[in-house]
Chain A
Amino acid sequence: MKSKRVLAIASGGGHWQQLMLMRDAFDDCDTLYLTTLPGLADQFQATPSRLIPDCNRSAKLAILRCALSLLRIILSQRPDVIISTGALPGVIALAIGKTFGARTIWVDSVANAEEMSMSGKLARRFADLWMSQWEDVAADCGAEFSGAVL
């Protein structure tokens, strides 16, 4: 069977660390890693990898830059699956990926123990598999719960 093309994307910090703890699920696929902090992917030997511009809700221009970068990558990579643990760049990747037919996974950060993150709420409509790592949070918002990285 042909190996699945996977795009695994997370912002630097806790989001990235959690993505790395899930990599057994896709490390043997044809996976491209994306993150926002120079040097981070190399530190985890996550190859191949690309750097993308970070963005958040308060800076519209940065969102545009980030989206264009992701659009270019997704058009050239044509991933079968996109998985993200956050934050906003991951939401954008899911939205673009879904437009081009990818199956999409959102695993909300385990840091969000009380409610789905704002990014997670945004990601809902673009995620085929929409998960929280907290059972109560998942039950409250209708997400799936299937374990956690802790």
Chain B
Amino acid sequence: MIFVTVGTQLPFPRLLDAMNDLAPDLSQPVIAQCGQREPRWTNIECHDTLTPDAFKTFTNTAALMVSHAGIGSILTAKSLGLPLIILPRRHEFGEHRNDHQLATARYVQSLQGVHVAWTADELGLLLAAGNLEPATNTPGPSHQTLVHRLRGFIETGE
């Protein structure tokens, strides 16, 4: 199963339109957390919102995750070792208040198992390619530095 999520804040019809168009040619069913569902999305299973438990069930059974460039989605894929494709929201399409998801995507594209589709067409190419490398949850050096700094502050107040 391919699990699609657009996050809890804003709609993202460009991603869902693309997945709906691609779904008939995919070998797996597509389940989506889609915010506000549109009647035209007939090829995918849409849920406007998901409880944390339902979200967990879907992400645990998914073979692949497709999402906006939301940190929550990236961290979920990392924690579960799922391959992740992200399509960044674009300010020019009214998908977010600014283009910070482009900056996020540029940074995380170097992470193992995070695959960036810069356009909806690239999303199709990545899905067609298959066998995408999964993400990993091993904390990198930057993560360890942060935890060490916080621990030091909590212990000493400085």
Contact = CB atoms under 8 A, between A and B. Distances in A.
B13 to A, nearest CB: 20
Tell me if B's interface is mostly helix, strand, loop or mixed.
Answer: helix
Count class of interface residues, chain A: 35 or more
Given A13-B8, A81-B154, A24 B111 contact: no
A105 B147 contact: no
Given A18-B71, A105-B150, A147 B100 contact: no
Contacts of B52: 12, 37-40, 43
B100 A112 contact: yes
A43 to B, nearest CB: 5
A12 B76 CA distance: 13
B149 interface: yes
Interface stretch (B14-22, B37-45, B121-129, B137-145): B137-145
Chain A interface secondary structure, helix, strand, loop or mixed? loop
Interface string B71-112: 110111001000000000000000000111001100110010
Given A21-B75, A147-B146, 11 more contacts: A12-B52, A13-B7, A14-B75, A24-B151, A25-B147, A83-B150, A107-B146, A110-B104, A114-B100, A146-B145, A147-B147
Interface of A: 4, 6, 12-14, 17-18, 21-22, 24-26, 29, 37-40, 43, 80-81, 83, 103, 105, 107, 109-114, 128-129, 131, 133, 146-150
